Structure 1
Amino acid sequence: MEATLDNLKSILAASNYKLTAQRKIILQILIDNRGEHLSAEEVYNIVKTEDPGIGLATVYRTLELFCELGIIQQLTFDENCRRYELETGEEHHHHLVCSKCGKVIEFNDEVLEEFESELEKKYSFKVTEHKIKFYGYCEDCQ
């Protein structure tokens, strides 16, 4: 499902939430910055340019709500910062994280997906989720 304001609005409505002006701005920022893995503070800095009246606490509460509703995913690449990405329902992906500059590169790999399938068969185990992150140095920081 492509993440648009209309289908995100319907997800909110299904859980008895309204698409308030503040939520709409935050959703649009996440849509416009798809693949960027923004922190709450980065979302807030963009929000301030759109609506200086929205506080950081509102951004945090809204991101938490969006996580609960499955609109976004919370990602932790280091101990100091949680980042968020829009849940698009597209193919599962993994992350390469630069230990020096913090750059995050998304990738997917059929071998990893096959490995998951083999684990399920071998151990009679149903995998419901997995998160794979590789840490190292990006091309610029090597």
Structure 2
Amino acid sequence: MEERIDRIKQQLYSHNYKLTPQREATVRVLLENEEDHLSAEDVYMLVKDKAPEIGLATVYRTLELLSELKIIHKINFGDGVARYEFRAEDAAHHHHHLVCIRCGKVDEIIEDLLEDVEKKVQKEFRFEILDHRLTFHGICQDCSSEKSQSSQQAVRKVTIE
């Protein structure tokens, strides 16, 4: 983790910003919860444990700065809540997401599924693609299993009565 914090510190310095204690606390929370797609409020609540003096506005400003510097992505899954995740340092593009509309669980697809589509769009529309995002909304395996189990129980109830 310290190595990543040092790289982020260098990215900030290269844009004439410092890694203040408040920014570092925010970065550490994001790194510690990298899999979770945290909202600003989630980050704030976790940062508060590490730095009780930090304010929500400071967390928002830090997240916006990190987003502007392309250290993190600001993403929205259609529920009106901005969430944040680190950019993959070695990836040419953003990864894709699967969002369950029942439980809200978010899974990631690391593989770039749109490479051929990008080539076609660039060629046919003469459009230089810098990045793309793809989010699938549906029902996750866990919720599907629960639904089929409850359906089976309902059928059993009907046949027993």
* TM-score, normalising length: structure 1: 0.90
Q: Structure 1 residue 110: deviation in Å?
A: 4.7
In structure 2, the CA distance between the partners of 1:9 and 1:109, relative to structure 1 (3 Å rule), is closer
Between 1:121-130 and 1:77-86, the stretch displaced more is 121-130
Supply the distance in 1 between the matched residues of 2:110 and 2:122 (Cα, whole angstroms).
19
Answer 1 or 2: which has greater strand percent.
1
The equivalent of 1:16 in structure 2 is 16
Supply the distance in 1 between the matched residues of 2:111 and 2:50 (Cα, whole angstroms).
38
Letter in 2 for 1:118: K
In structure 2, the CA distance between the partners of 1:80 and 1:125, relative to structure 1 (3 Å rule), is closer
Answer 1 or 2: which has greater helix percent.
2
Higher-Rg structure is 2
Q: Unpaired runs of 5+ in structure 2?
A: 145-161
In structure 2, the CA distance between the partners of 1:108 and 1:87, relative to structure 1 (3 Å rule), is closer
Supply the distance in 2 between the matched residues of 1:88 and 1:109 (Cα, whole angstroms).
12
The equivalent of 2:125 in structure 1 is 123
Supply the distance in 2 between the matched residues of 1:90 and 1:104 (Cα, whole angstroms).
22
The equivalent of 2:151 in structure 1 is none
Number of equivalent positions: 140
User: RMSD value over aligned CA atoms?
Assistant: 1.6
The equivalent of 1:35 in structure 2 is 35
The equivalent of 1:64 in structure 2 is 64
The equivalent of 2:96 in structure 1 is 94
